Structure 1
Amino acid sequence: MALPWALAVLSLLPMLDAQSPACLNFSVPITNASLDQISGKWFFIADASRLLDYKMEVNESHAFFLYLTPNHTEDRIQLRQYMTFEDECMYNSTSLRIHRENATLNTHENGAQYFGHLLLLKDPKTFMLATFPEDKQELGLSFFADKPEVTPEQMEEFYDYLTCMGMDKSDVLYPNQKKNMCQQLEKQHEEERRKEKEKSETGSALN
């Protein structure tokens, strides 16, 4: 596929005019504290979208998780994502540009630019990415948590914002994290990063 489907969440330019009054905090500026809050490993819990092709792609996925590593000084986030399609693990790494004032993230892929809104929730163990195109038939909302399973209260907050956007629970798709086939690759990558960090620290000590 041309784009990892996780980045498809960012694939529509957000339109602030499409917000209802109840959704105004979608545009809260991103701060260093915001970036620290989303740093680390996150599991894709649920997604609602009215884009047919995107919905089909999400529906074909069985599990998805990602790592976010923000860089405060460069206003970028390293995104590493692991996706399971059928019995195959797919991995991708890319960089997201942070636009602090309008709370958006964007990246470039195949000559195109992709945007999405970062939405921090009351529970710091969750966050969402939202898209607000002018066409109400194409809006979308994705929900992430720091564990593969969420509480009813966490899920309810996602549903509240879904309603705010004019969508329904019937629009929601739920990947199955229990079918994750990326454990081995994730373990391999973590070991490689650990060795690289040790090598770097050893070199610094010698200097």
Structure 2
Amino acid sequence: MVLPWALAVLSLLPLLEAQSPACANLTAKPITNATLDWLSGRWFYIGSVFLDPAFKQMVQKVQASDFYFTPNLTQDTILFQQYLSIDDHCEYNSSVLWVHRENATLSRYDSGKKFMAQLLLQDFNSTYLLAFSMDDENKRGLSFYANKPEATPEQLEGFREALECKGMDKSEIMYTDWKKVSLTIQKITEPMSW
């Protein structure tokens, strides 16, 4: 009598794991040269949820953002060139990101303060997530990036599942809208050289 019950329970285990593939895929893996090569190029900010009031206020102003990653494999740095549309005007920012390979984080200094984000790769080959302060329930944030200005419904659903997995509310997602952005930022196709 116990054997059939045990077999039935064991046969349901794969279904339990299948309920949340986003959680299973949200583990940071060490950053390799192959990861950095994959990250190289143009990316688009799609949306995010930030619980930190300062970040949330800043992100609410962003209408669209795209940027270029130019990795330096020998120095474990990335040249980060960002184009933003904020409050109907365009801005350009450039900085250096430091790559911390073992714990899969990227860091940068801004106004003397260090900011860190953990790189989370999903099953989709054309998207990734950056996780901020995930140990702090009041300051955590998760942002979503794709290699095109608009994500597919499947990619967006993966982002929403990731938020749920990390204990964040998908109703708080702040999306960009490339359709409302001025043509100036859309015409930028090549990064500036250093």
The answer to whether the 8 Å contact 1:63/1:178 transfers is no
The one-character-per-residue Cα deviations of 1:5-24 (angstroms, maximum 9, x if unpaired) are: xxxxxxxxxxxxxxxxx468
The answer to whether the 8 Å contact 1:50/1:171 transfers is no
Shift of 1:108: 1.4
- Match in the other structure for 1:151: 152
Shift of 1:25: 4.6
- Match in the other structure for 2:101: 100
TM-score (norm 1): 0.76
The answer to whether the 8 Å contact 1:98/1:105 transfers is yes
Asked which structure has the greater CA Rg, the reply is 2
Change (3 A) 1:143 1:94: same
Q: Which runs of 4+ in 1 moved over 6 A?
A: none
Change (3 A) 1:163 1:95: same
Matched residue type, 1:175: T
Percent of aligned positions that are identical:
41
Secondary structure, counterpart of 1:26 in structure 2: coil
Shift of 1:184: 7.6
Matched residue type, 1:26: T
Larger relative contact order (C-alpha < 8 A, sep ≥ 6)?
A: 1
Are 2:107 and 1:76 aligned?
Answer: no
CA distance in 2, matches of 1:184, 1:127: 21
CA distance in 1, matches of 2:25, 2:42: 27
- Match in the other structure for 2:114: 113
- Match in the other structure for 2:176: 175
Shift of 1:156: 1.2
Matched residue type, 1:161: A
CA distance in 2, matches of 1:24, 1:147: 21
TM-score (norm 2): 0.80
Shift of 1:60: 1.6
The answer to whether the 8 Å contact 1:59/1:175 transfers is no
Greater shift in the superposed pair: 54-63 or 139-148: 54-63
Report which of the two has the higher share of helix. 1
Q: CA RMSD in A?
A: 2.1
Change (3 A) 1:27 1:184: closer
The one-character-per-residue Cα deviations of 1:147-169 (angstroms, maximum 9, x if unpaired) are: 11111111111111111110111
- Match in the other structure for 1:18: none
Change (3 A) 1:161 1:89: same
- Match in the other structure for 1:134: 135
